[in-house]
Structure 1
Amino acid sequence: MPETDPQQPWEYTLHIPNDPRAVTVCHRTLRLILTMHGLITLVDVAELPATELVSNAVRHTKGPVALRVQWSPGVLRIGAWDADPEPPEPPNAWEQVAESEGGRGLALVRACADQWGWQPLSRHGRRGKYVWCAFAAA
């Protein structure tokens, strides 16, 4: 397997249909991307938050979705774009997660990632949002 220079930034975007089966495709694609770039140590911490971001986009919106995986030296950023411009619901506090029906996804993202956030996006006349999380490489 060719070595990847950890000082060189890279980025992948996977466009998926709004289909629950696509979440598994994203999960497996993320694992493959990180493994091929020699970031196997980040796979376990990144998979759950990435899966939650894509699951939320598929579950709570009607349009297409995209998974974005970016590497800048020392920082892995993963995000999900969807066609709904409405902001995500704020994550529940851990004390409320066990008692609530929903709100676990972003609470897990917040707990697992070093940072997370969202931003509205507009491109080619389409509006939406991008919800992301970041991990510092040890």
Structure 2
Amino acid sequence: MSTVSLPDTWVYALRLPHDPRAARVARMTVRTALTSHGRPDILDAVELLASELVTNAYLHTRGPASLRLTALADGRLRVGVWDSHPRVPAPFGRPPRDRVPLVPADAEGGRGLRLVQEYADCWGAWPLRDGPLDGLLDRGVGKLLWFEVGGRRNGTSRPVAA
């Protein structure tokens, strides 16, 4: 008889209220989860990108958000952030997905989604309307933005069709 070793997969889900402190709570959750699972190699990138997406959810919606961390069997980590606004921004939206406009050097914001392009291995989005996820995420409306890190990098980040 042989022993089968299960892959190191796990999932954390966090519901975040519409609160300016939500990004900080998301960063603390990411740090705790990745540290406890021995993933310091991706900690900085995941903490930064999750914080950016949660901040955007707070700034551009009036409702709650959700953060989900999913460790995949091949060592990648998928991070999803749901919010109630239906608009899917670049680089997650329709082609050209790779076009996030540069912001002026003196601008106070506008760099978060560009960071996704720089640090994520891949990313995508699912616009949500009434359908299979209805009831799971506040009336099934809004969007889910996701990115993955920790995979084999081929030198460039790339979007993945949802």
Q: How far apart, CA to CA, are the structure 2 residues paired with 1:99 and 1:24?
A: 25
How far off is 1:100 after superposition?
A: 8.1
Q: Deviations over 1:20-43 (max 9, x none)?
A: 111101101100000111112211
Q: Partner of 1:97: helix, strand, or coil?
A: coil
C-alpha change, 1:61 and 1:100, in structure 2 (3 Å) is farther
Computing the radius of gyration over CA atoms, which structure comes out larger, 1 or 2? Answer: 2
Q: How far apart, CA to CA, are the structure 1 residues paired with 2:60 and 2:69?
A: 21
C-alpha change, 1:6 and 1:67, in structure 2 (3 Å) is farther
**Is the 1:92–1:103 Cα contact (8 Å) retained in structure 2?**
no
C-alpha change, 1:8 and 1:110, in structure 2 (3 Å) is same
2:142 to 124, 128, 131: 128
C-alpha change, 1:83 and 1:71, in structure 2 (3 Å) is same
C-alpha change, 1:6 and 1:78, in structure 2 (3 Å) is farther
Number of positions where the alignment pairs a residue of Structure 1 with one of Structure 2: 132
**Is the 2:15–2:65 Cα contact (8 Å) retained in structure 1?**
yes
TM-score by length of 2: 0.73
Q: Deviations over 1:49-77 (max 9, x none)?
A: 11111111111111110111010021101
Unaligned runs of 5+ in 1: none
Q: How far apart, CA to CA, are the structure 1 residues paired with 2:63 and 2:44?
A: 29
Report the equivalent of 1:98. 104
Structure number with the higher strand fraction is 1
Unaligned runs of 5+ in 2: 92-98, 153-162
Q: How far apart, CA to CA, are the structure 2 residues paired with 1:6 and 1:110?
A: 32
- Between the aligned residues of both structures, percent identity stands at 42
Q: How far apart, CA to CA, are the structure 2 residues paired with 1:32 and 1:97?
A: 32
How far off is 1:45 after superposition?
A: 1.8
TM-score by length of 1: 0.84
Aligned ranges for residues 1-138 of structure 1 at < 5 Å?
7-73=7-73, 74-90=75-91, 92-93=100-101, 96-98=102-104, 101=107, 102-122=109-129, 123-124=134-135, 125-137=139-151
Q: Which moved more, 1:101-110 or 1:59-68?
A: 101-110
**Is the 1:9–1:71 Cα contact (8 Å) retained in structure 2?**
yes
Q: Partner of 2:141: helix, strand, or coil?
A: strand
Q: CA RMSD for the aligned pairs? A: 2.1
Q: Deviations over 1:76-131 (max 9, x none)?
A: 011210011221244524xx233584531110111111111211124223311011
